[in-house]
Structures are given as structure tokens and as C-alpha cells.
């Protein structure tokens, strides 16, 4: 007889809600049912009642981690309607902030991965090394999160040249920490044991399920909007798209770790080549029309579509965060795996682990007999067992 494990009822990743029921037989997961909608905020409707300028502040609040991605994608859609391009300096500044955001998002994910696995040192290192990146963001934009910096046509505030040496120093130190963490994580036999061959998503499934970002690239599905779309300064700097063919949890972790090095490369080149000149193209009015903007957020592609009716407010603003399309890939990944790995697999498809704190195991009568804490403990016990055996 199957037991049902509900994960939820709401999950604050990207402020998106979700509720997952795992159907398990003994230790093995047989299937999963996914349900969203616990904290739906009606932002698409709200965006239709605000002006284009106000909308950028609104869509920034879709996610606390990748707020630059949404405001950039929204701004690109608005620029697409009008048919303007931002000035060169704005393109470079936007790219720098966007990549800093990727660094801190991936590092947050590494730290939380350590927490799930029971590697407290990795957790503390990850979060400690993330902090200077937030300082750099504060130096450039004035805020650690929700930068209020992007706007249709460019950026809102210019940056004094004096801060760049300090930002470069932070990036150099961070790159060293990433090297150290990458070595420590990939050389550890226990971490290898927990991640390798666990939660495999084949390339065919990755394409068919429409996965995005590191989730797709970890399965050999070679997509990256930074390369596949003409935006920002990505065409003018030297960097690589990281793709791993294996599709297991380790492959996704490796993609995220190596991507941080690429982001450091991009930021350094952008600072080096940063052109002068104006920071925004003025947009006086929005004509009738439609616009699409998409960017590569840390978790995958953020997509925005806006239709203008010629007034100062959009008629329709569609926004789609990457997690919405990545969540269904949890189904093929988790099938046939054990409960102690389900926590990890869930974390691999979605970089925010706070959801796991909200897991509870119910017996068939609906009475809880396992809490989120117990499930994390189960994962820790598996790591301990592997440690003892190695």
C-alpha cells in the first residue's frame, strides 16, 4: 500500500507556491503529484493597473533573489514595444549586476546544499562568501536586493568609477573561494556518493519537460539565453556555456559551480571594457504594440510579454519565472528513488531549500508521523552512513 508524503502546502521559492505529494512504497518513491497556487499574488492583473515605470518595481518583487532578472526581462519587453536600444554603458552595467546576482544566487544554493547533506562547513562557507557579493551589489546599485535600478531604456542611476577597484577585489577573492569550494565538494567521496547517479533526468526528458537553466544544462540540453539572444554585453565578452551530460544531481551541482567562474570572468571583462556615455535612452511614450523580453536568470529563463494599447499602462503583462517550468521535471527525477534522496532531488531542481522545512509525512489516515525536520534528519543519517562506510 502506498503512503503519501505531502510537501508543502506552500513553498516560498521565487515567492511561488507549491505542494507536492509523494506516493511511496516502503522507502521507494513511486510517483509524485504537484500542485501550485497557495500564495498566488495576482501580479499579472496588478501590472495592468500600474504605469510602465511602476511596473518595473512591481516585477522586481516576483523574486527576492533574481530581482534583476525580472526587471531586466520586463524592461527588454518594453524596449521591444518602443523599438529602442539602451546605450552601451547601460548594457554593460546591467550585465555586471545580473552576473553578480547569479553569483550570490548560486552561492546561496551551494550553502543550502551543504545544509541538506549535513555538511555544516559548506553551509557556513557558502553563506559567508556570498556576503561580499551583496556588498558589491550595494556599492553599485544602493541595495543588497530589489535594486530599483533597471528601467525601460537603461538604468536609473550612474556608478562612480572609484568603486570598481573594490568590486574587482571582491570578485578576485570570490573566484578563489569558488575554486576552493569546487575542489572540496567534488573531491569528497561522501558527497560524490550522495549526488552521483541520484535523480537522473535524461536529455530527452529535459527537452520534453521544457526545463531551463542549470537544470537543463545538467542534462546535456544546451540552452542559455545569454548566448541564444542578443541582449546585454554577452556577445562582446569571452565566456562559455557550461553543459554536463550526465543528468544526475552531481551534474547540476557541477554546472552551478563552474558557472560561477564564468560569471566572474564576465564581470571582470565588463568592468574592464565599461564604456562611458549616457545611462539611459529616454522613452517618451509607448505606442500600440507587443513586446517580448527574456533573460537567463540564475535558475533559468525569465520570460516577459507585454501588450501596449497606446496608454501609459500595459493592456496585458505576462510574466513567467523559470521555476514554473522546472518543477514538473521533479516527477521523472524522483521516480524509483528513496525518501532520503527525495529531499535532495527536490532541492536540485529548485535552488531554495526552505520548502523542505515544510515537508511532513502522513500515514494513509492523514495523521502526520514525520515532519520536515525528520526528513532532513533522514538525509543527514544517509550522509553519516556513507561517511562511516568510506
Partner 1 sequence: MSKEVLTNLKTKFGDRVEIYEHNDRRAYVTVSNEDWIEVLRYMYEVEKGRLTTATGSDRPTGVELLYHFAIDTDRIVVNIRTTLKKPFPKIESLTQHYYAADFIEREIFDFLGVEFEGHPDPRKILSSHDRPADFHPMRRDE
- Give contact residues for partner 1 (rule: CB under 8 A): 35-37, 40, 42, 44-45, 80, 83, 207-210, 223, 225, 228-230, 289-292, 294, 301, 303, 305, 307, 315-316, 318, 320, 324-325, 327-328
Taking the alpha carbons at both ends of the chain, their separation in whole angstroms is 35
Spatial neighbors of 132 by CB under 8 A, at least 6 apart, are: 170, 173, 174
How far apart are CB 323 and partner 1 at their closest, in Å?
Answer: 11
How far apart are CB 334 and partner 1 at their closest, in Å?
Answer: 16
Name the residue nearer to partner 1 (CB basis): 140 or 327: 327
CA torsion, ordered 345, 321, 6, 252, to nearest 10 deg: 0
How far apart are CB 327 and partner 1 at their closest, in Å?
Answer: 7
How far apart are CB 319 and partner 1 at their closest, in Å?
Answer: 9
Name the residue nearer to partner 1 (CB basis): 248 or 296: 296
Name the residue nearer to partner 1 (CB basis): 84 or 362: 84
Name the residue nearer to partner 1 (CB basis): 30 or 44: 44
Name the residue nearer to partner 1 (CB basis): 178 or 225: 225
Name the residue nearer to partner 1 (CB basis): 207 or 386: 207
How far apart are CB 318 and partner 1 at their closest, in Å?
Answer: 4
| Residue 254 cell numbers, joined | 557541477
Backbone angles phi, psi at 293, to 5 degrees: -140, 135
How far apart are CB 293 and partner 1 at their closest, in Å?
Answer: 9
Name the residue nearer to partner 1 (CB basis): 181 or 349: 349
How far apart are CB 128 and partner 1 at their closest, in Å?
Answer: 36
Amino acid at each position: 500500500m502506498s503512503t503519501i508524503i505531502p510537501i508543502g502546502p506552500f513553498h516560498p521559492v521565487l515567492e511561488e507556491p507549491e505542494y507536492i505529494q509523494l506516493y511511496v512504497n516502503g522507502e521507494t518513491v513511486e510517483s509524485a503529484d504537484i500542485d501550485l497556487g497557495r500564495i498566488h499574488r495576482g501580479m499579472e492583473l496588478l501590472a495592468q493597473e500600474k504605469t510602465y515605470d511602476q511596473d518595473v518595481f512591481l516585477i522586481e518583487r516576483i523574486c527576492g533573489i533574481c530581482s534583476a532578472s525580472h526587471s531586466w526581462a520586463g524592461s527588454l519587453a518594453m524596449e521591444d514595444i518602443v523599438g529602442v536600444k539602451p546605450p552601451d554603458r547601460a548594457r554593460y552595467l546591467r550585465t555586471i549586476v545580473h552576473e553578480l546576482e547569479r553569483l550570490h544566487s548560486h552561492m546561496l544554493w551551494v550553502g543550502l546544499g551543504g545544509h541538506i547533506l549535513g555538511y555544516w562547513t559548506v553551509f557556513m562557507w557558502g553563506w559567508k562568501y556570498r556576503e561580499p557579493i551583496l556588498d558589491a551589489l550595494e556599492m553599485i546599485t544602493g541595495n543588497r536586493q530589489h535594486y530599483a535600478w533597471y528601467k525601460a531604456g537603461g538604468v536609473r542611476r550612474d556608478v562612480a568609477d572609484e568603486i570598481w577597484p573594490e568590486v574587482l577585489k571582491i570578485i578576485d577573492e570570490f573566484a578563489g573561494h569558488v575554486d576552493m569550494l569546487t575542489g572540496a565538494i567534488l573531491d569528497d567521496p561522501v558527497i560524490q556518493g550522495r549526488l552521483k547517479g541520484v535523480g537522473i533526468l535524461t536529455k530527452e526528458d529535459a527537452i520534453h519537460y521544457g526545463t531551463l537553466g542549470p537544470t537543463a544544462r545538467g542534462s546535456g540540453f544546451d540552452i542559455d539565453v545569454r548566448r541564444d539572444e542578443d541582449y546585454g554585453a554577452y556577445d562582446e565578452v569571452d565566456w562559455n556555456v557550461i553543459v554536463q551530460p550526465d543528468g544526475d544531481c552531481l551534474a547540476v551541482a557541477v554546472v552551478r559551480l563552474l558557472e560561477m567562474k564564468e560569471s566572474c570572468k564576465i564581470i571582470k571583462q565588463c568592468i574592464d571594457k565599461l564604456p562611458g556615455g549616457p545611462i539611459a535612452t529616454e522613452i517618451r511614450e509607448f505606442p500600440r504594440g507587443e513586446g517580448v523580453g527574456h533573460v537567463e536568470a540564475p535558475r533559468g529563463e525569465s520570460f516577459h510579454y507585454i501588450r501596449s494599447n497606446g496608454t501609459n499602462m500595459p493592456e496585458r503583462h505576462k510574466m513567467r519565472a523559470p521555476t514554473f517550468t522546472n518543477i514538473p521535471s521533479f516527477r521523472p527525477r524522483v521516480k524509483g528513488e528513496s525518501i532520503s534522496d527525495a529531499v535532495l532531488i527536490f532541492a536540485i531542481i529548485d535552488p531554495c531549500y526552505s520548502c523542505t522545512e515544510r515537508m511532513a509525512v502522513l500515514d494513509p489516515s492523514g495523521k502526520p508521523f514525520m515532519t520536515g525536520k525528520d526528513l532532513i534528519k533522514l538525509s543527514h543519517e544517509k550522509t553519516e552512513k556513507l561517511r562511516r562506510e568510506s
